[in-house]
Structure 1
Amino acid sequence: MFKRYVLLLFIIVSCSKEEIRPSYISIKSNNDSIYVNLLNPIISTAFLKIENKLTNQTQFLDFTKPDTLTILKFHKTQIDTSDIFKNYNFTLNFGASSIKTYDSLYNYGLPFSKGKRYRVLQQQNGSFTHFGPVSRYALDFTMKIGEEVCAIREGVVVFVKNDSDEGGSSKKYKSKANNILIYHNDGTFSQYAHFKQNGIIVKKGDSIKKGQLIGYSGDTGQATEPHLHFVLYKPTINGLNSIPYILDSIPSQKYKTGLIATNK
């Protein structure tokens, strides 16, 4: 019987709550000027979204590597520092703010070792949790805790969460899923989620080969049974959106719930 679970929602480095300062934004005063500075820690492409709530204007700043720079400057007579986060929202996102093309014909590998076979737990566009722009094209395989998880494509690790030992069906566990985000050279990203505690064996900055062992499956985060969740993302001005792809020479949409996939 199909056991339902709740999809991990990707946690973007961001801040949109009023009057809360993101960790990557600092304010400094020098003589008569106030400087708003960005410390961008993302090692892949990234962009900062600046929303001016007074004028309803939005600005995008793109980066190709980590950087520190001044993004806004005011005279002290123009604004009080306490009003900056009332008047502006800052959101730092993975990926470029505009990506026109990517390698839609790339043949991704199955996310597990040669000779292994696993059942699709929930297909793309699944009615339970695989809907909406973030998760529409996610796929999930039932895996016991400790099964080998392998990279579906070469790339660079840009985010790792590996310390959680918590999981369950409640929404309070949503942020507890151990997961990896990998950046690919065409500007896309792949995410793998629900690893066991300390089950991820790669770290931020590592270059990954297709088929490489990256960790061991688990049951962390908001889930009712052990499984692997993975998804391919295209960056947009609203964040990372899931996209379809070719998986082991088969369009990912054809991996229906209950299908057994074998890595030959």
Structure 2
Amino acid sequence: MNFRILIIGFLLVSCSETYKKPNYIKFNLTTDSIFVTTKNKNVSPIFIKIVDRAAKEQFIDIDKKSEKILLKFNKSVVDTNYILEHYKFYGYYGTSNLKNYDTLYNYQLPFLKGKRYRVLQGNFGSYSHNKITSKYAIDFKMKIGQEVCAIRDAIVVDVKNHFEKNGTSKKYLNKANVVFAIHKDDTYVQYAHFKKDGVLVKLGDTIKKGQIIGYSGNTGFSSEPHLHFTIYKPTKNGLVSIPFILDSIPSSKYKKGKYALHN
């Protein structure tokens, strides 16, 4: 399944062109019927939003590594081209309606004990933390090659590790090395801007709080070396950035220019 990870944190694959089938759905044909099904090969739940020609929407949640029928058609009436012409399919990480998650969880600082780093950009930062997908993110200024640690136990959902360039134009938005993972309460975390080949974990790994998961860098949409991380919850419009508690302090208190020390 080819779900793209955007550095801004919004995770989406869509089918916007007529007759183009997304790679996370398939057609199963029987003598009389056409079934549109999906097989989730991902290590996290996903959901599919289906929009028909009349702009009606339906949402279908799919568990980890499971298959579900999305639509059924009479084969004598429609064909697969008709389906793709009249329906659009959008794939998102998570569940379509996550109501409860641990808002009081105390996340650990994303670096080793004894280390001290300055906040480069906090919540609602004007440079790049000004969208629904990034407004509660925190950036710590780190030299290239500093140890990045997991802030909570999680399962790795996706990894990017091969990029080596950075810049401040939009063409770099999808070119950061990242670790994207799911927590026990079905929230997600994204760590970003690792150096090339600097990620130490792989898809499907279980990572522990405090574990070194990679080395900081300056890849993707970035003006200088740093670590960017965000906590997300899934919604019907995709992942959105949420506030959190970091080392017993609300994320909103991490202001630009202040230092955080991991005691």
Shorter-chain TM-score: which interval? Answer: over 0.9
What is the correspondence of 1:52-131 to structure 2 with a 5 Å cutoff?
A: 52-54=52-54, 56-131=55-130
What is the aligned-residue RMSD (CA, Å)? 1.6
Q: Aligned-pair distance for 1:39?
A: 2.1
Q: Distance in 2 between matches of 1:226 and 1:186?
A: 31
Q: What do the CA deviations read for 1:30-59 (whole angstroms, capped 9, x no partner)? A: 3232222212122122211111123x2211
Q: Judge conservation of contact 1:142–1:227 (CA < 8 Å) in 2.
A: yes
Q: Aligned-pair distance for 1:242?
A: 0.6
Instruction: Give, as a single letter, the amino acid of the residue that structure 1 aligns with 2:45.
Output: T
| 1:141 alignment partner in structure 2 | 140
Q: Judge conservation of contact 2:40–2:63 (CA < 8 Å) in 1.
A: no
Q: Distance in 2 between matches of 1:64 and 1:81?
A: 25
Q: Judge conservation of contact 2:7–2:175 (CA < 8 Å) in 1.
A: no
Q: Judge conservation of contact 2:12–2:238 (CA < 8 Å) in 1.
A: no
Q: Show structure 1 runs of 5+ residues with no match.
A: 1-6
Q: Distance in 2 between matches of 1:164 and 1:112?
A: 22
Q: Distance in 2 between matches of 1:214 and 1:71?
A: 37
Determine if the alignment matches structure 1 residue 43 to structure 2 residue 43: yes
Q: Distance in 1 between matches of 2:82 and 2:220?
A: 36
Q: Aligned-pair distance for 1:257?
A: 0.5
Q: Distance in 1 between matches of 2:77 and 2:11?
A: 32
Q: Distance in 1 between matches of 2:199 and 2:93?
A: 21
| 2:27 alignment partner in structure 1 | 27
Q: Distance in 1 between matches of 2:78 and 2:225?
A: 52
Q: Judge conservation of contact 1:192–1:230 (CA < 8 Å) in 2.
A: yes
The DSSP-based 3-state class of the residue aligned with 1:124 is: coil
Q: Distance in 2 between matches of 1:229 and 1:83?
A: 43
Instruction: Give, as a single letter, the amino acid of the residue that structure 1 aligns with 2:205.
Output: D
Q: What do the CA deviations read for 1:50-89 (whole angstroms, capped 9, x no partner)? A: 11123x2211111231112332121223223222222111
Q: Distance in 2 between matches of 1:28 and 1:196?
A: 43
| 2:168 alignment partner in structure 1 | 169
| 1:250 alignment partner in structure 2 | 249
Determine if the alignment matches structure 1 residue 230 to structure 2 residue 221: no
Q: Distance in 2 between matches of 1:81 and 1:144?
A: 52
Closer/same/farther in 2, CA of residues 231 and 241 from structure 1, 3 Å limit: same
The DSSP-based 3-state class of the residue aligned with 1:127 is: coil
Q: Distance in 1 between matches of 2:24 and 2:7?
A: 24
Percent of matched pairs sharing the same residue: 52
| 1:4 alignment partner in structure 2 | none
Q: Show structure 2 runs of 5+ residues with no match.
A: 1-5
- Which 4+ runs in 1 deviate beyond 6 A? none
Q: What do the CA deviations read for 1:135-184 (whole angstroms, capped 9, x no partner)? A: 11011011111110001111111111112122222211111111111111
| TM-score, normalisation: structure 1 | 0.92
| TM-score, normalisation: structure 2 | 0.93
What is the correspondence of 1:153-232 to structure 2 with a 5 Å cutoff?
A: 153-232=152-231
Q: Judge conservation of contact 1:42–1:94 (CA < 8 Å) in 2.
A: no
Between stretches 125-134 and 25-34, larger displacement belongs to: 25-34
